[in-house]
Structure formats: C-alpha cells, structure tokens
Amino acid sequence: KAGVTQTPRYLIKTRGQQVTLSCSPISGHRSVSWYQQTPGQGLQFLFEYFSETQRNKGNFPGRFSGRQFSNSRSEMNVSTLELGDSALYLCASSSDRGQDTQYFGPGTRLTVL
C-alpha cells in the first residue's frame, strides 16, 4: 500500500500571502488529521476530518482552515501568512475508528519570509 503523500514538500511564501497544502491518505483511510510542528511548540493538532466533516479542531486562529473531499484527500489553507506560521505541516491518516494507528506523511516545510 502506498503511504501518506503530501504536496508540495517545500514552500516559500511571504507575509500576507495564502497557501494551500495537500494530503492524500492511505487507500481506504477516511480520517485525516493535520499537525503543525515547530522547534518551540513541538507537534500541535490543527484539525481532523472524517468523511468530509471536521470532527475536531485544535487551538489555532481562523486563518487556518481545511477541507476533505469525497475521495478522502484533504487540503489545508493558511491565509494572511505570518512569520510564525513557518513550520513543518504534517498530515496523518487512519481508518474509520478513533484509537486506530495514525500514519504520518513526510510533511510540507513552509517558510514564511
């Protein structure tokens, strides 16, 4: 089975711009979660989608949003980028139920200048 894929792998943007990141889960997985990883805060949960519905949301401002499509692929969007948004953005997929193993993609490294 192919693993979780994320595109693009690297992005450089400037303050004020917006960005869209994409995640394709493992085939058959319907849950996709997004995390932000920074040296200071570590891995922090952004949101989770299951069957096209947001099931849970972390403590991030409304500039961070996401969606999931009928084929379970997911995108996250960050609008009005700030320097502090520079991070590794990871997505993880799992099958239907909670407490199932989550498999992470390689991440998208976003740099905001």
Partner 1 sequence: QKEVEQDPGPLSVPEGAIVSLNCTYSNSAFQYFMWYRQYSRKGPELLMYTYSSGNKEDGRFTAQVDKSSKYISLFIRDSQPSDSATYLCATLPGGATNKLIFGTGTLLAVQP
Q: How far lies 4's CA from each of 73, 85, 86, 96, in Å?
A: 10, 23, 22, 16
Token pair, residue 107, equals 């991440």
Instruction: State the number of CA atoms in the 13 A half-sphere of 37 facing the CB.
Output: 13
Using rule CB under 8 A, residue 103 touches partner 1: yes
55, 71, 82, 84: which one contacts partner 1 (CB under 8 A)?
A: 55
Using rule CB under 8 A, residue 87 touches partner 1: no
Using rule CB under 8 A, residue 60 touches partner 1: no
Taking the C-alpha atoms of residue 98 and residue 91, their distance in angstroms, rounded to an integer, is 16
Our CB check for partner 1 shows the closer of 18 and 111 to be: 111
From the CB of 16, what's the least distance to partner 1, in Å?
A: 28
Taking the C-alpha atoms of residue 82 and residue 105, their distance in angstroms, rounded to an integer, is 24
Residues near partner 1 (CB under 8 A) = 4, 31, 33, 35, 41-45, 48, 55-56, 58, 90, 92, 94, 97-107
